[in-house]
Each structure stands twice: as C-alpha cells, then as structure tokens.
C-alpha cells in the first residue's frame, strides 16, 4: 500500500554557490535589500501581520522551508493515523478470531471456513461504525492534503524549470520576457 508520504518531498533549494552547512549564515552576509525580517512566532502576530503572509505556511526567512516541513508533517500525521487504526483493528480481529476458534473447539466443533464466515460477518457488523468513521476521516485528511501537495509539486516544477534555464529568478524573468508560460511543457529557452 502506498502511504501518503511516498510522494516525493520537495527539495531544498540551494542557489547560492557559497552555501555551507557548517558555516553559519550571518546577517552581514546578506545585503540590506535581501534581509528579511524574522517571522512572528505567535499566532496572534501572524493573524495581525501584513496581508502578504501565507496563512497556510509562513516560510522560514532564510531557508524558506516551513512549507516543505509542514507538508511532510501532514503526510506523517495521516500515515500515523492510518497505521494506528489498522494496527488496532487487526489486533482486535486476531484476538477475537483466536477466542472464537477456542470457543468452537471447546464445544467440540471443527473450525471450518463456513464456521469462520459466521465470525467474519459478525466482526464486520460490529466494526461497521468504527470503519465508517475511519473512512470519513481518512477521506477528509487526504482531501486536505491535496492543496499542500499541489503547492509542493508546483514548487518542485518551478525549481526544476529555473535550474534548467540557468538557475535563479533570472531564468524565470527571461522565460516570461520570451512569452513562455509556466505551464508549458517546453522548458528550453
């Protein structure tokens, strides 16, 4: 079964050739026009902040990673919900099946597929409301992942197009000047 997080996660954009994982980024390394103010940390600051704040996911001012992290956390949450439900369901099923078989043997009956079909139907009837609640929540969670997943795919496509055109925003500006739209499949300039 394919999990929600089996979708490739967006990559980390390194357009700065001097980037280093070990060298700390200092504000003095960035010109004044490139400096981005720190994002607010409290939800009230975010809600009362400037209008251009992305309410789905305000990015980190330097790495621009929050949206990718939030996407992965959302995938992990849905996968955990799915795994927890089926672990509990399968544990109940196995426990009740063993008890049913032992009860049948204690009455001197042979456990046959026909006898087990009675158990299966009874188990499914008792689990119906739990399964229905699971299905509703699973669909709701997966539908909620569509927009963040779409945003992640668009970011990946945009980054791939920029890399194919020579990197950076200059490639995007150059493509727009030539009349190439984002959705066109031809990425050659």
Per-residue pLDDT of 116-151, as tens digits, reads 999 999 999 999 999 999 999 999 999 988 888 888
The set of long-range contacts for 179-186, using a CB threshold of 8 Å and a minimum separation of 24, is: 182/157, 182/158
**Residue 109's pLDDT is what?**
92
| Gap between the Cα atoms of 54 and 140, Å rounded | 22
Whether residues 59 and 95 share a domain: the answer is no
**Is residue 189 domain-resident?**
yes
43 lies in the same domain as 77: no
The last residue of a domain, from among 40, 64, 88 = 64
Q: How many domains does the chain have?
A: 3
Interatomic CA distance for residues 184 and 180, integer angstroms = 7
Q: In this model, does residue 55 exceed pLDDT 50?
A: no
- Mark whether 125 and 85 lie in a shared domain: yes
Read off the pLDDT of residues 69-91 as tens digits, 9 standing for 90 and up. Answer: 777 888 899 999 999 999 999 99
Question: CB count, 10 Å around CB of 119?
Answer: 18
Q: Tell me: do 98 and 138 sit in the same domain.
A: yes
Residues 82 and 112 both lie in one domain: yes
**Mean pLDDT across the chain:** 72
Q: Is residue 13 included in any domain, yes or no?
A: no
- Whether 59 and 73 map to the same domain: the answer is no
Do 59 and 98 fall within a single domain?
no
Q: CB of 9 within 8 A of CB of 73?
A: no
| Confidence at residue 59, expressed as pLDDT on a 0 to 100 scale | 58
3-class secondary structure, 24: coil
- Each residue's pLDDT tens digit, 95-116: 999 999 999 999 999 999 999 9
Residue 134 within a domain: yes
Asked if 41 and 22 count as a contact pair (C-beta separation under 8 A), the reply is: no
From 64, 84, 112, the end of a domain falls on 64
Percent above pLDDT 90 for the chain = 35
169 belongs to a structural domain: yes
What are the structure tokens assigned to 140, written together? Answer: 């709701």
**Is residue 152 one of the residues assigned to a domain?**
no
CA distance 158 to 180: 13
Q: Are residues 165 and 115 in the same domain?
A: no
Over the stretch 164-183, which tens digit does the pLDDT of each residue have? 887 555 555 555 556 555 55
Judgement on whether residues 76 and 129 belong to the same structural domain of the protein = yes
How many angstroms separate the CA atoms of 58 and 49, rounded?
11
Do 166 and 102 sit in the same domain of this protein? no
For 67-85, the DSSP string reads: HHHHHHHHHHHHHHHHHHH
Q: Decide if 132 is inside a domain.
A: yes
Residue 163 lies in a domain: yes
pTM of the prediction?
A: 0.51
Identify the domain containing residue 74 by its residue range: 69-144
- Whether 140 and 76 map to the same domain: the answer is yes
Give the H/E segment covering residue 146.
helix 146-164
The answer to whether residue 138 is domain-embedded is yes
Residues 98, 32, single domain; the answer is no
């Amino acid at each position: 079964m394919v999990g929600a997080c089996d979708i490739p996660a967006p990559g980390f954009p390194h357009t700065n050739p001097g980037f280093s994982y070990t060298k700390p980024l200092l504000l003095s390394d960035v010109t004044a026009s490139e400096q981005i103010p720190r994002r607010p940390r409290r939800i009230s600051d975010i809600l009362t902040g400037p209008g251009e704040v992305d309410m789905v996911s305000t990015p980190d001012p330097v790495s621009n990673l929050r949206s990718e992290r939030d996407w992965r956390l959302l995938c992990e949450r849905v996968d955990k919900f799915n795994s927890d439900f089926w672990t509990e369901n399968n544990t109940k099923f196995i426990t009740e099946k063993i008890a049913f078989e032992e009860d049948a043997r204690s009455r001197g009956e042979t456990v046959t597929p026909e006898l087990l079909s009675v158990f299966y139907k009874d188990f499914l009837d008792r689990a119906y409301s739990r399964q229905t609640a699971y299905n509703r929540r699973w669909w709701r969670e997966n539908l909620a992942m569509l927009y963040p997943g779409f945003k992640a795919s668009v970011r990946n496509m945009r980054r791939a197009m920029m890399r194919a055109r020579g990197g950076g925003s200059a490639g995007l500006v150059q493509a727009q000047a030539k009349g190439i739209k984002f959705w066109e499949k031809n990425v050659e300039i």
